[in-house]
Chains A and B, each alone.
Chain A
C-alpha cells in the first residue's frame, strides 16, 4: 500500500497478481500514487496488475499518460495489465485513445483475476 505524500493507494495481492484501486479522479497526484504502487508491486515480484476503476469517475490527460507509463513498465517486467470496473464514459475514452489495444478490460475484479488465471490472456504490447 503506497502511503507517500500522506495519502494511500489501496491494494492487495492475489497470488502473483496485485490489485490496485484507483481513486475517484485519476489526475497527476492520484495517478503518480498508483504508478508508484504498481512499480512497487512489480518490484516485489508480481507478474500481473489489476487496476480497479470502480470508484473512478474521471480520468484526465495526465491520468492517461501515467496509465500508459504503467503499461510500459509492466511490459518491461513481462507483466500483464487488466483494467476492471471501468465506467462507460472512461471505456469510451480508453477505446478512443487506443489503451484498450494494450490492456484487457474486465467487468469487475473477480473477472479480471479469472481472466489472468488463463481464461482470457491479455494482448501483448506493441
Chain B
C-alpha cells in the first residue's frame, strides 16, 4: 500500500527534527527523550524506551514513555544475545515471534508490558543499546514502510548516543591532559624555585633574593593587568633572572666591599650568561631568556649588556629590573644596611624615566599602597619586607604622591 501524502509529510518532518535533535550536543538526556518522542509520535506508538548497553552487558534506561523503569532491571543480556543482536543490526525483532534467544527468555515479560518490537542499535559494529517499542495506536500491524522508518530513526538515535559518548570520552581525555599539563607546570615551577634557591645560595648576602624578585615581579605584572599565564611567566623570569651568576666567580659575588671596574665588568656578564643558559630551554612561558638578559638595561641607555633604550627594552625586563633593584635597596648588603622606605621612594621618583619605567613604578607603588590601606587582603609585600618596615605614618602619602606625580608626567 502506498503511504498517504500526509503520512509522508508527517514522517519526513519527524526525520528532519530528529536529525537536528541528535546533532544537539547540549543536554544528552533531553536529546534522547526528544528523539524517543519523535519516533513514537511518527508511528503513533503507545509506549517505548531507549536503553543503552553499558559495560558488563548491563542495560541502562535513557528514556521511556508509558513503561515502568523497573522493567530494565529484569532484562539481562548474555554473550550470545550480543552476537545475535549484532547480526540483526538495526532490524526490528518481533517480540511475539521470539526471534532471538533474548526474546525467548523475556517474551512473557515484554508481552505483559505491551512491548511489540525490539530494535538493536548497532553503531560501527558495536551494540550501543536497544529501542523498545509498543504497538501502534491504530491497532494495525507494522507495515514494511513502518519497519524502514523505525530502522532509519533508530540509526539516527544510535549515532546520536554513540557520538555523545565519544564527545564525553574526548572531553574526559582533554581534562586528563589538562591535569597532567598542570602537574607538569607545577613540577616546572618547583624546579625553577629550587634552582633559584641554588642561585641565591652562591651569594651568601642575598639569600631569597631570586624568590622575592619573582614575587615582586608577579605582583607588579598582576597590578598592570597581565593575564594569569603572563603573570606566571614573569614570576619564573624573576626566579631565574640571576641564573647567569652561576658562571661568575663566587668571590666577586661575595666581595664584602664595592668592587672595582674590572670585577664589576666580570659581574656584569651575568645577564648575557643567563640568556645563554636559558635560551636553549623550551619554557612554557614566553620571553623568559630575554627578561633575564635585559634586567640590567636602563631607559636612558646606560644599562647593560646592550645599552638598550626605553622602547627597545621588553616590558617584562623592565618589571624584573624594578623588582631586582627594589629588593637590592630593601635588603642588607655586606657593605651597607638596607635603605629606609622613604629613601627608596625618593630613589624611585628620581630614577623614573631614567632607570625605571614610570608605568612599572606606578603599578608597584599602587600594589604596596593597596596592602597598606587594606584595599587588598594580601600582605605579601609587607611580609617580604619584614615587620615594621612600612609602618611609617608618611608612607601611604609618599606612595600616593609618587603615583600622582608619575601619572601626571606620563
Contacts and interface: CB of A to CB of B under 8 A. Distances in A.
Contact of A98 (B40, B41, B65, B139): B139
Interface stretch (B43-51, B162-170, B214-222, B261-269): B43-51
Contacts of B227: none
Contacts of A96: 4, 6-7, 10, 138
B386 interface: no
A7 interface: no
B14 interface: yes
Nearest to B34: A28
Contacts of B151: none
B284 interface: no
Given A96-B6, A98-B136, A72 B66 contact: yes
Interface string A90-121: 00110011110110000000000000000000
B384 interface: no
Contacts of A62: 17, 34, 37-38, 41
A29 to B, nearest CB: 10
A74 to B, nearest CB: 12
A61 B137 contact: no
A1 interface: no
Interface string B39-79: 11111111100000000000000000110000000000000
Contact of A61 (B6, B41, B136): B41
A119 B65 CA distance: 33
A53 to B, nearest CB: 16
B13 interface: yes
A68 B13 contact: no
Contacts of B136: 97-98
A100 to B, nearest CB: 9
A101 B43 CA distance: 14
Contacts of A97: 10, 43-44, 136-138
B137 A102 contact: yes
B140 interface: yes
Nearest to A31: B37
B4 A61 contact: no
B140 A65 contact: no
A66 B137 CA distance: 13
Interface residues of A, number: 22
B13 A72 contact: no
Nearest to A65: B41
A72 B139 contact: no
B7 A65 contact: no
Given A72-B46, A101-B139, A60 B13 contact: yes
B361 to A, nearest CB: 54
B34 A68 contact: no
A113 to B, nearest CB: 25
B49 to A, nearest CB: 13
A109 to B, nearest CB: 24
B218 to A, nearest CB: 47
A60 B14 contact: yes
B17 A68 contact: no
A98 B13 CA distance: 19
A101 B138 contact: yes
B182 to A, nearest CB: 40
A63 B42 CA distance: 10
Contact of B42 (A61, A72, A126): A61
B124 to A, nearest CB: 27
A72 B47 contact: yes
Contacts of B41: 60-66, 68
Nearest to A59: B41
Interface of B: 4, 6-7, 10, 13-14, 17, 34, 36-47, 65-66, 136-140
Interface of A: 28, 60-66, 68-69, 71-72, 89, 92-93, 96-99, 101-102, 126
Closest 4 CB pairs of A and B: A98-B138, A61-B41, A97-B44, A65-B41
16 contacts: A28-B37, A60-B13, A62-B17, A63-B41, A64-B42, A65-B36, A65-B38, A65-B41, A65-B65, A66-B37, A69-B65, A72-B47, A96-B7, A96-B10, A97-B136, A101-B138
